[in-house]
Structure 1
Amino acid sequence: MATSCAQTLALQSNSSGLNRFKEKLVAKLLSFYDEQSLIDVTFEVSNPTAVVPAHRLILAAASPYFENLFNGEQGNNPDIEMNDIDSDIFERLITFCYTGEALITVNNVGAMLKGALILQLDDVINSCVDCLMTNIKEHTLQAAYTLERETQCERLKQKLIEYEIKNFIEISRRVEFLSFDVEKLQRILESDNLNITREEDAYDAIKRWFNYDVPARQEQLPILIACLRLTQFDADFLWTHIQPLPGCELLALQPISWIREPAARTRVNMRFTEPRATCEKTFLALCHSEMNKNLVQYNKAEDKWQEYASLEIDYTYYCMILKDDNLIFIGGCKSGITSNIVRSLNIRNKTWENFPAMKQARCGLCVVALDDKIYAIGGLEDKKVLSSVERYTPSDGWESVSSLIVERYKARAVTLNNKIYIVGGKNTNGDLKLVECYNPGSNTWTSCADMTKCRDFPFVKVHKGHIYVLDTYSAKSRQSVERYDPQRNTWSKICCLNADWARIAGMSLDNKLWFIGRPKSDDWSSVSVYDEANDRWVKKCSFSNVNGYFRCIVPVALLSSK
């Protein structure tokens, strides 16, 4: 008989007649409930004491909890005690069994969720979790964490993880983050959608979590480090930051081999080799014209450059550095007067902020960031060539450190192996091929091997543990390129780059070295990638001309879509 009824309903499922029948049936059931007619079970609920009448068949159909209850030992009892749910919440949930609607508010959502979990009302559970997540704010997040621990609600746990993935930077700075268990943190870090703009953000969060309780978390640290996209770090970072961590030696060696030996990648067992979806990167350049200055970005999908922001900058010969979400403009010259001004442009929201001024006015300086510190090196103060160096930290502002051995301006500096290398430039004696290395641990500069030629305002890039250098301008038709090996303290010439000059140059992207240059007679910039195995430059594509003074690679997610 039951089978026959089910088949009849299936055949009529799309008929308007069946829909009318269902509406009438539900209306009649509600009237029975309101009038307490044909009641066959009564619940005695405490806090406060109340009596809630109902119909067994309706509750059993709505909830596996009631179905099991009524089929159990006390299933035939006309009166059943309920001690785990407050009477008001219980009555609301019984009403849901009849109407399919539950009145959930910010004030009662916790109690409603606990009651729905007991009564196994999945639709109410989902509605409670949605209500929690819709109204979650900084001051209510702690309450959500507490509720998840008390209820062990799997859907709430999953929604919180989705929230943590989406708001990872903010969450990782909260005190609650330090108490995350390793399984939870692993689920978050494994996500390809982790909302970070650079892989270092995830590494910094792991270190903060690890340092909170080092003895208890040493064995767990490699589990989390393995969740990082290790091939997105350069070899220098892997050697200095990952390899020294307990249990992480092999985790550092594998990506170093993957980076340095492309031909051997099929033999390297790496869990993650691609960047996260949120960490796709693009080119960003600052371009000058007589009228204004623009930030432009490369649109990979359309293979073209487009304006990102128009900037009002009324001074020149400043130096810029990308740090976190900010382009920091340091020093410069205005109306012939050297400046010590420091300003920061947040490239996500395109707003300016003033930083503390340097101790000394500088133009034509070079700037690098190392261990969250910014170094301003050399330059000119009016017509005086400087050897002085100063360092900025948010806590201490600008402070002087050891001066260069040889004063210079229009030089370039990079970081490698936790040290700073300054290359070329010029002083009153002319163009320089001198190279110096700064050790922040001992606060000393030492001389390195000279380049093979003098270079004024060169382009310099660290790639796979070496320093690559080429001139900004070249009088010849081919750019001279050389490479420094810090282990051997030697320079060697490599294949020349076929470009008259390169205003946007020397970027390491996708573990390859890219140079962008433009011949004097052409309006297009050519893009070349260095083939290390064959010591040759391979032309990849051309961009419409971008006269870029400053160039960098930034995560796409960092750039505003507005």
Structure 2
Amino acid sequence: MATSYTQRPSLQSNSSEQNRFMDKLMWKIFSFYDEQSLIDVTFKVSNPTALIPAHRLILAAASPYFENLFNGDQGNYPIIEITDIDSDIFERLITFCYTGQTLFTVSNVSAMLKAAIVLKLDDVITSCVDYLIAHINKFTLQAAYALERESRCEHLMQKIIEYETQNFVEISKSDEFLNFDFEKLQRILESDNLNITREEDAFDAINRWFNYNVPARQEQLPLLIACLRLTQFDAEFLLTHIQPLPGCELLAFKAISWIREPAARTKINMRFTRPRGISAANCGEKTLLAVCGNAIYPKLLQYSKAEDKWQEYASIRCDYKCYRTILKDDNLLFVGGIKKRAILNIVRSWNIRNKTWRNLAAMNQKRFRHCVVELDGKIYAIGGLDIGKTLSSVERYMTSDGWQFVNGLIVGRYDPCAVTLNGKIYIMSGINGDNDYIKSVECYNPVSNAWTSCADMIERHTFSVAAAHKGHIYVLGSNGDKKTVERYDPQRNTWSKICSLRGGISCVSLDNKLWAITGDFLSGMTCVSVYDEKNDRWEQKCAFSETNIRSCFAVPEALLTSNE
């Protein structure tokens, strides 16, 4: 039976020693597979019939499908029959479980994707979809549509929509476009990233789609016209092209009123009033957006760099507290928290542009005082507290699959800080299960689904915040009366101290500079400071009376511009 010392591998903190160990371990696993040594399961696969040997432990670690299979009654058999996957495809995917690599071709990628979905090999699914989109001309878009309908692969659907959004004008002229279902076309037209040079291109596409089947699509036409940025048209266009369309008279009237009567704009309810191209993913001038943690009515404050002052952007209702927030595209996600002493697993999304809420899939684990990060478009919820226990569990959110557990932390902790850098997650500091403040640092590699130890921080911090900036990680924290800022070099796996700063609340990389928000609860004031790396000092910006800021993000200024 495993002891507390053998439940999880504890590798050396020196990264080169870790790499040598892992390389040696993987080389040995490959040799066992090549030599068919220590084989403990064989699959009998058809079309054509073949026997494919493997190791249960490797397959179970690579896929939840195999883990569930081997834990079931059938998993005890020395030979397991697979009837729904061809032998060549199955063998390629078994090889992937060992090597993380496989060969895709235009002729096999469809079968590979469907088989990977059955075997729950997420990395293969992602690689298949990326290959399809990269070879869309050879594979043909029509075949991709057919595969998406057959496989019901949401990741493929999302990638196709991204492709359609980027190549909208060309695709809108194709025969496939005429058979788009309403929901799909609406989702594309709503996008701020729609690649068109003028709004008339989107209008022409709607007209073509509508005229293909007028009786069946007449009720849906106004909903699609409402997706246009109508205020970008002139009044004459609205009168001659929009108003005559069935069900669109009111839309045209609102847009004309918006254009001609600026003073009345606050009373006109229109869905889109700004031009396309404004999203959190876009480059362009950015500023700070801070979330203030009032339990019932959190406020969002935006920072004006030109005026060096903060002003309220929005007040939102949220009847629980101790959630963690993260910026995802144009949305703020509120993850976990507490309501009337009940710990929550809920996840809600608040759209910054539209100022509207929607619910997302709930986490598997209730948690608070945790941390959340985004890596490769996926949201990770890490550690925290549940009733009576410190959590080491980690779960990952993908739109297609909801929340799924990944490998947990080496050391469970709450109140940590975390960042993503160079395709990995780093978690630092926090409080362990013995209620001790810790200096330990861990790094998560999503490719190997493993956490490894990094060099400890110099100080133990009672509270800490972190940001990735110019290839390093900066942590602002405190240890009693000590106010410490530490910088981590991931290449050297070393920590060093820089100029200290009092009372770190949040830090953000913005305009190629490190910005810090600090609070002094005695004076009731919060300050914004910018790090001068050359002279190792902090330059203080504005101060304001708001000490309950919980998180801060860099967002495009245009995203926060009020409708005018």
- Does the alignment pair 1:140 with 2:207? yes
- Does the alignment pair 1:387 with 2:392? yes
What amino acid is aligned across from residue 486 of structure 1 in structure 2? P
* Alignment counterpart, residue 342 of structure 1, candidates 336, 342, 347: 347
Quick check: 2:460–2:479 contact (8 Å CA) kept in 1? no
2:527 — aligned with what?
Answer: 526
How much has 1:195 moved relative to structure 2?
1.9
* Alignment counterpart, residue 470 of structure 2, candidates 461, 464, 467: 464
How much has 1:137 moved relative to structure 2?
5.2
Cα distance change, pair 426–132 in 1 and its aligned pair in 2 (3 A): closer
Distance (Å, rounded) in 1 between the aligned partners of 2:424 and 2:199: 48
How much has 1:508 moved relative to structure 2?
1.1
**Which range is displaced more, 552-561 or 335-344?**
552-561
1:415 — aligned with what?
Answer: 420
Q: 1:104-503 counterparts in 2 under 5 A?
A: 133=200, 136=203, 138-140=205-207, 195-198=277-280, 200-201=281-282, 279-289=284-294, 292-429=297-434, 430-471=436-477, 475-476=480-481, 479-497=483-501, 499=502, 501-503=503-505
SS for the counterpart of 2:499 is: strand
Quick check: 1:303–1:543 contact (8 Å CA) kept in 2? no
How much has 1:314 moved relative to structure 2?
1.8
Cα distance change, pair 300–530 in 1 and its aligned pair in 2 (3 A): closer
How much has 1:197 moved relative to structure 2?
2.9
Distance (Å, rounded) in 2 between the aligned partners of 1:455 and 1:138: 57
Quick check: 2:526–2:544 contact (8 Å CA) kept in 1? yes
Cα distance change, pair 351–132 in 1 and its aligned pair in 2 (3 A): closer
For structure 1, the residue ranges without an aligned partner over 5 or more in a row are 1-130, 144-162, 168-192, 202-274
Distance (Å, rounded) in 2 between the aligned partners of 1:328 and 1:458: 21
SS for the counterpart of 1:431 is: coil
How much has 1:413 moved relative to structure 2?
1.2
1:369-396, Cα deviation, whole Å (9 max, x unpaired): 1111111111111121111111110111
SS for the counterpart of 2:320 is: coil
Distance (Å, rounded) in 1 between the aligned partners of 2:393 and 2:320: 22
TM-score normalised over the length of structure 1: 0.51
Quick check: 1:379–1:387 contact (8 Å CA) kept in 2? yes
Count of matched residue positions in the alignment of Structure 1 and Structure 2:
307
SS for the counterpart of 1:496 is: coil
1:509 — aligned with what?
Answer: 510
Distance (Å, rounded) in 1 between the aligned partners of 2:337 and 2:362: 12
Distance (Å, rounded) in 1 between the aligned partners of 2:465 and 2:556: 22
Quick check: 1:325–1:346 contact (8 Å CA) kept in 2? yes
1:232 — aligned with what?
Answer: none
Distance (Å, rounded) in 2 between the aligned partners of 1:134 and 1:415: 39
How much has 1:138 moved relative to structure 2?
4.3
Distance (Å, rounded) in 2 between the aligned partners of 1:529 and 1:423: 22
What amino acid is aligned across from residue 353 of structure 1 in structure 2? R
What amino acid is aligned across from residue 479 of structure 1 in structure 2? K
Quick check: 1:516–1:526 contact (8 Å CA) kept in 2? yes
Cα distance change, pair 520–475 in 1 and its aligned pair in 2 (3 A): farther
How much has 1:133 moved relative to structure 2?
3.1
Quick check: 1:286–1:548 contact (8 Å CA) kept in 2? yes
Distance (Å, rounded) in 1 between the aligned partners of 2:392 and 2:199: 59
How much has 1:359 moved relative to structure 2?
0.9
Distance (Å, rounded) in 1 between the aligned partners of 2:317 and 2:473: 34
Quick check: 1:512–1:530 contact (8 Å CA) kept in 2? yes
How much has 1:554 moved relative to structure 2?
1.1
1:228 — aligned with what?
Answer: none
How much has 1:400 moved relative to structure 2?
1.1
For structure 2, the residue ranges without an aligned partner over 5 or more in a row are 1-197, 211-228, 234-274
Distance (Å, rounded) in 2 between the aligned partners of 1:485 and 1:553: 23
Distance (Å, rounded) in 1 between the aligned partners of 2:329 and 2:202: 30
How much has 1:526 moved relative to structure 2?
2.7
2:122 — aligned with what?
Answer: none
Quick check: 1:431–1:454 contact (8 Å CA) kept in 2? yes
Cα distance change, pair 138–409 in 1 and its aligned pair in 2 (3 A): farther
How much has 1:142 moved relative to structure 2?
8.2
2:559 — aligned with what?
Answer: 558
Distance (Å, rounded) in 1 between the aligned partners of 2:460 and 2:523: 27
TM-score normalised over the length of structure 2: 0.50
What amino acid is aligned across from residue 448 of structure 2 in structure 1? S
Distance (Å, rounded) in 2 between the aligned partners of 1:134 and 1:195: 15
What amino acid is aligned across from residue 489 of structure 1 in structure 2? N
Cα distance change, pair 539–303 in 1 and its aligned pair in 2 (3 A): closer
Distance (Å, rounded) in 1 between the aligned partners of 2:336 and 2:295: 21
Cα distance change, pair 280–135 in 1 and its aligned pair in 2 (3 A): closer
Distance (Å, rounded) in 2 between the aligned partners of 1:301 and 1:417: 32
Distance (Å, rounded) in 1 between the aligned partners of 2:348 and 2:520: 34
Identity of aligned residues (%): 54
